[in-house]
Amino acid sequence: MTQQKEKACFQKTALLKQAETKSGWFVLDATQKTLGRLTSEIAKILRGKHRPTYTPHVDSGDGVIIINAEKVKVTGNKEAQKNYYHHTGYVGNLKEISYRTMLQRKPEYIIEHAVKGMMPRNRLTRKQMKRLRVFAGTAHNMQAQQPVNVNI
């Protein structure tokens, strides 16, 4: 029994400090990817859960660049039934935009909105969401960050 107690005393959880973090950038292609499955992977990378040194209170995640946002797909009948809502601030002015219309107008918003919904609501999340860049086409202006292409 004493040997087990001694072993237990030496097993400590390593908590990462902000100064010890190293972040990089990943490029993900959204072509023919399902919206929910893609955005859950993006949220995991932004939070840093893909690393073995994940610490909940430290921003240890990486930046994510999404290209071809207009080519993301949804399953089932969501393309016809899914709606996005926003309120203008005036009484009775709740606006509703369908998925198809939003895909034509702002395809970047669809992915940003889905990722934001998968993140916790706190100050750390707001900081992590700033490292999400979504582009409608194949071109992006983030070459200076030396991003790594990733297939999901």
Query: Given CA atoms 51, 54, 56, 57 in this order, what sign does their dihedral have?
Result: negative
- pLDDT tens digits, 55-67: 999 999 999 999 9
Residue type, 140: H
42-59 average pLDDT score: 94
Q: Identify the CA nearest to 98 among candidates 85, 83, 113, 79.
A: 83
Q: Are 114 and 132 in contact (CB under 8 A)?
A: no
- pLDDT tens digits, 64-122: 999 999 999 999 999 999 999 999 999 999 999 999 999 999 999 999 999 999 999 99
Question: Domain 24-74+107-150 adopts which CATH fold?
Answer: Ribosomal Protein L13p; Chain: A; (3.90.1180)
Map out the domains of the chain as residue ranges: 24-74+107-150
Q: Picking from 14-18, 25-29, 141-145, which range would have the lowest pLDDT averaged per residue?
A: 14-18
pTM for the structure as a whole: 0.88
